[in-house]
Structure 1
Amino acid sequence: MSINLDQIDELRKRANVSYEDAKNALEQNEGNLIESLIYLEKQNKIKPDEKPCNDSTFFKKVKILIKTGNETKILIKKNDNVVLNICITLAVILTIVAAPIVIVGLLLAIITNHKIRIVKKNNENSEANKIFDKVSIIVNKVTKKIKEETKTE
């Protein structure tokens, strides 16, 4: 019985073995693919498929999250002039690295009547913008009261 390359390739693909192991198994089993697989299995030569770690669902989800973060922007504006325009991924990294500075910066932006916007891909507004608007309105009322009180004194 002659063994051809297609048979060897098929056995290699199914058993993840070398050409030599596939050829020997086929020769031992007269070209029968199933018997060759059983033969290799009994000899513990079948190797599991090696999946790279980037095929795992965790890494796929992280990739999607990073891609979405790169497509979503945080904008800080003052009188229609853009003061800051960065992607959410960078904003998260900055928050992790320098949380106190970011918190103080956001508070100063809100107190000084800057508009904070989160803009998704295709210029869609985020639900978080409603919260930023409410906070801005409250802070504006408070700062107006403080200014009025300091003027009267």
Structure 2
Amino acid sequence: MSINLEQIDELRKRANVSYEDAKNALEQNEGNLIKSLIYLEKQNKIKPDEKPCNDNTFFKNVKSLIKKGNETKLIIKKNDNVVLNICVTLAVIIAISAAPIVIVGLILAIITNHKIRIVKKNNEDSQVNKIFDKVSVVVNKVTTKINEELKTE
């Protein structure tokens, strides 16, 4: 039985062995791929695929997300004075670890007419800023009405 390169390549791909090991296994088993795989397995020659951990797509996505978060800033201003300027990655970590405090802080910031901004790498505005602006306008109207009511009493 003649062994051809396609058989050797197929066995190498499946068993992750050298050309020599693949050729010898096929010769020992008359070109039968399954018997050759069993033969290599019994000899402990089949090697696991060597893929480094950083090739994992999950870790690549997390790394990319952290990079974007580090390039994007959360800025809170009051009358053109910057009160807080941190990267979004840090803001998320703080929000996860101290959620109630962050929620109260954001509500207080909006009530006290602070501007909340998410600024991307090239000073590009985020769509979230439009939502912050709308919420801020509504809250400012409500606080103004409440203040007027309190003054008239």
TM-score by length of 2: 0.75
CA 1:36–1:120: 2 relative to 1, 3 Å:
farther
2:40 aligned with 1:43: yes
Q: Name the counterpart of 1:120.
A: 120
- Which runs of structure 2 are paired with 1:1-153 in the superposition (5 Å)? 26=20, 35-36=23-24, 38=26, 41=37, 42-44=39-41, 45-153=45-153
Supply the distance in 2 between the matched residues of 1:43 and 1:114 (Cα, whole angstroms). 69
Q: Which runs of 5+ in 1 are unaligned?
A: 1-12, 27-32
Consecutive unaligned residues in structure 2, runs of 5 or more: 1-11, 29-35
In the TM superposition, what is the alpha-carbon distance from 1:46 to its structure 2 partner? Answer: 2.5
Q: Is the 8 A contact 2:25 2:40 kept in 1?
A: no
1:57 is aligned with what amino acid?
T
Deviation (angstroms), 1:47 = 0.4
CA distance in 2, matches of 1:51, 1:36: 26
Task: Name the SS of the counterpart of 1:75 in structure 2.
Answer: strand
Counterpart of 2:70, as a letter, is N
1-side partners of 2:123 and 2:86: how far apart? 14
**C-alpha distance in structure 1 between counterparts of 2:25 and 2:80, whole Å:** 70
CA distance 1:95–1:70, change in 2 (3 Å): same
Deviation per CA, 1:102-141: give whole Å up to 9, x if none: 0011001000000000001111000000000000100110
Q: Is the partner of 1:43 in helix, strand or coil?
A: helix
**Among the aligned pairs, what percent are the same residue?**
72
Opposite residue 43 of structure 1, the aligned amino acid is L
1:70 deviation in Å?
0.8
Please report how far the alpha carbon of residue 34 of structure 1 lies from its aligned counterpart in structure 2 after TM superposition: 5.3
Secondary structure at the aligned position of 1:121 is classed as coil
- Letter paired with 1:76: I
